[in-house]
Chain A
Amino acid sequence: MSVDTATVKRVAKLSRIAITDERAESMQSELNTILGFVEQLQEVDVEGVEPMTSVVDMVMRKRRDEISDGNKAEDVTANAPMSEDNFFMVPKVVE
């Protein structure tokens, strides 16, 4: 399988990465090199094989239903590029 530039742009859009037409062109060939490389997986017989969901054999640890965190709005927003009154601020979202 390979991608065309329209696909590169669509995927860039899905990834929320701005891309110029020019870069989409060069990216197309880079991605196709990689897709060409992974193409060999098609020759593996995976009939009846379970896809791996976890590489380690263990039972998922669970937390107790206790409030052990929070009340750190200041810490949470400390690194925000833009915030006010411990709110994050973003360009207005129209629904």
Chain B
Amino acid sequence: MIMTPQDYIAALPLGIVAVTAFLVLLIEAFRDGSVRVTSWLTALGLAAAFFVAMTRVFGAAPGTAFFGMYATGAFPDLMTAVFCVSGILTVLLSSAYLGKEHLVQGEYYAVLLSAVAGMIMMAAAADLVFFFLGLELMSIAFYILAGFARGRLMSNEAGLKYFLLGAFSTGFLLYGIALVYGATGRTAISAIPSHSLALAHSPVFVVGLALVLVGLLFKVAAFPFHMWAPDVYEGAPTTVSGFMATGGKAAAFSGFLLIFSPLALNALPTLSDVISLIAAASMILGNIVAVSQTSIKRMLAYSSIAHAGYILAGVVAGNRMGAEGVIFYLAAYTLMNIGAFGVVSILESGDGTGVTYDECAGLSRRAPVLSGLMAVFMFSLTGIPPFAGFFGKYYVFAGAIGGGYTWLAIIGVLMSVVSASYYLRLVVLMYFKEGTERNSSVSVPAASLAALVIAAIGLLGLGLFPSLLLQLTAWCF
């Protein structure tokens, strides 16, 4: 067994991100106070990985490298691009936010990069062992980032809570992988669909997959495993919350598309039914609880539970359209949710308390550009055309209808109407209510503004020309 240059080329995006993480650590170790350099280096490394991945999406035939560990092809590369976008936007938003919160430390960027490396491993996993390692790398980085504001009690709580519950859910996932291995004798992910057909009535295999399902549902914060999400997203530094809710969710959903692929789900109708119920429950609970929130960060946390439900509808559809819709949704969700968290991070006062709805009243007078961008993100999260959020919802629900889950699509559309009440309430408050603090204007750092503008343009671009991305997703399956 000898590794060839092709193996390294296949894993190039992962290599770039991991090496950048080491470089950032080294620079931080030998040159104190070089955070400006490391933050730009981080963005540069992620951008390089993004471009390498994007150049390979077109026409890439699926294959494996490193002796059947690392999957190549359009799907891992496209997901890598999504993770890198999530990382770059987070880095751009972080530089000003960390300064405001007195959290400036170079290790932040190294840990963020290793989280992205873990996500890439998850999307590019051809073997359950490799998938598990990627999930752990990402999760450990998230535990660190969630507790990064060491001086704040809320952040400590977020880090510890996420760590304890995350370790517990990892146990389920690992036990599930062990049972699947015990039933089939293999850990290759590509073997799961054929085993699902042959072993659909084997309790060991099905229980193993169900336990893997539990571990993944925890990571995407779907209904019965969502309890950690509001506290962690509220307590973690805001830019980190945005990163966890987008990149982390996208990585876990790429695990769904790999392990619970349409082929495997069609062979296991019981498991599909369970997932469809969980999807419906996540939509209902996330949206209804989000209505009663006063803190915007908490509202976004509950809405992320609801979005996990929408995306699960695309997974459970068990067809091409649903699967492609999931990728589209994840790309759109990354842009709009990081944008929303980014606006909150700019509005925060720096003492660790979040932003409430009332504080946003009359914001359009004080910060017209910021309000305009926030309105774009809210419209897109609601699913109003011409923004990309609409097409994301359209494709996952169309996929669900095609897969025989019309009732799920109906619940999804109804719940989207409910979601309009809390997303659009913010827009109404910003534009049509008088604020109390009329004189204080909000200063928007240049790098953060650039990130928000990129996200908004991306949303509009994908919304007006969805075929741009759909051409790429068509290569994935």
- Tell me, yes or no, whether A binds B: no
